[in-house]
Structure 1
Amino acid sequence: MSSIDPARLSAYIASRICHDLVSPISSVTNALDLMDEPGDHEMKAQAEALLHDGAEKAAARIQFLRYAFGSIGLNAGAADIHEARKITDAFVSSHKPSVEWDLQADHLSFSHVRLMMNLVMLAVESLPRGGVVSVRIRSEAGGLTITLTAKGDRARLKEE
């Protein structure tokens, strides 16, 4: 297994963050532009809905990316599984796929949660036309097993 240059890894992570924020922030910008235009009440209502949707998606993605890539994964101890699931649900709902959970673990470390979130991100990215991301986590005597399955039309991993 080859290692990745830290500078290249940092560039990949920064690129990923920007990629995930472009769409919802563009929605917010477009909505603000529409609200500045003279127009009917219905158009203003649509602009307001677009503004709320874009802001919610951006917030969900920022929170997820902060957890998945941030320093929280470097903490010792157990992560709050319910909080990680809530953050992941919000992130996935800001994309086309849905997520199904099958959790049978008493606790997860922050590192495990971070790994799971990064796998979820790969699974979501592999489903450009939507589908289902299934997350299965098992705590067994031999350790922890995290399994993700992505099913949907034209599911694929990009080469990069």
Structure 2
Amino acid sequence: MTALSSPLLPSDASAEPSEADLVALVGSRLCHDLISPLGAISNGVELLAMSGGAMSPEMQLIAESVSAANARVKFFRVAFGQANTEQRVSQNEIRSLLSEMSATGRTKFDWQVDGDQPRHLVKMAYLAILCMETALPFGGRLVITEHNGEWHLVAETRRTKPDDALWQALAGHAPADLRPAQVQFILLPREAETYGRHIDWQINETEARMSF
């Protein structure tokens, strides 16, 4: 029997993945493994619909739920996955994805950034969207634009409900009781620091703004 042993660690610690890299790798792995079964379920529902039988309310609910889950996983794959300055995301892919999310959620997304974009900037935009969603319990309309290299997100809603302590995490003051659904408030400022960007935000009773 061949004995197995742990490999020697490199003397240069910088060669090891950083904590942020490991988080991104885990995010990419989870989303990658979930997309295939969700796609298979979606295909199965389509085949059942094509078989000639009427779409029952139960099947319609399954179809809508799978579509929403599939769109969300694709969104998370960019928001929490690996990204660098070499990779790009097409405009059509972004708009198609946000359109799917708009169709099944309370918030309607309007992506007004022209052309394909570097994946790391799209990742920051997606993390910003996740942050802004926490302040929009009633949904609304969220517009994403870019001007002279600066990205802007503006959300209009019936009434905002921000958690002030949570939003202070964007300035490096993360609350001790941060929940998994709020991890974007930690990741976004780290991405901003990596690429030399500063995050600004403003929230009033009916509008939320963020730029980086």
TM-score, normalisation: structure 2: 0.48
Residues of 1 paired with 2:58 and 2:116: CA distance? Answer: 43
Q: Which is higher, the Rg of structure 1 or of structure 2? A: 2
2:100 to 90, 93, 108: 90
1:54-133 matches, within 5 Å, as 54-71=65-82, 73-74=83-84, 76-103=86-113, 105-133=114-142
Q: Secondary structure at the match of 1:76?
A: coil
Whichever residue aligns with residue 128 of structure 2, its letter is: L
Taking a change above 3 Å as real, the CA distance of residues 64 and 106 of structure 1, as seen in their structure-2 partners, is closer
Which structure 1 residue ranges, 4+ long, deviate > 3 Å from structure 2? none
Whichever residue aligns with residue 150 of structure 2, its letter is: T
2:4 alignment counterpart? none
2:58 alignment counterpart? 47
Q: Which runs of 5+ in 1 are unaligned?
A: 1-5, 18-24, 29-41
How many residue pairs get aligned? The number is: 121
Contact 1:134–1:148, Cα closer than 8 Å, also in 2: yes
1:21 alignment counterpart? none
Whichever residue aligns with residue 159 of structure 2, its letter is: R
Residues of 2 paired with 1:53 and 1:77: CA distance? Answer: 31
Greater RCO, CA 8 A, separation 6+: 1
Residues of 1 paired with 2:97 and 2:89: CA distance? Answer: 12
How far the C-alpha of 1:53 sits from its partner, in A, is: 0.9
Q: Which runs of 5+ in 2 are unaligned?
A: 1-18, 31-37, 42-53, 167-212
2:51 alignment counterpart? none
Whichever residue aligns with residue 136 of structure 2, its letter is: L
Residues of 2 paired with 1:89 and 1:157: CA distance? Answer: 25
Taking a change above 3 Å as real, the CA distance of residues 62 and 78 of structure 1, as seen in their structure-2 partners, is closer
How far the C-alpha of 1:60 sits from its partner, in A, is: 0.7
Residues of 2 paired with 1:90 and 1:67: CA distance? Answer: 15
1:147 alignment counterpart? 152
TM-score, normalisation: structure 1: 0.62
Q: Deviations over 1:38-93 (max 9, x none)?
A: xxxx9x8111111111111111111110111112x236143323212322332343
RMSD of aligned Cα (Å): 3.1
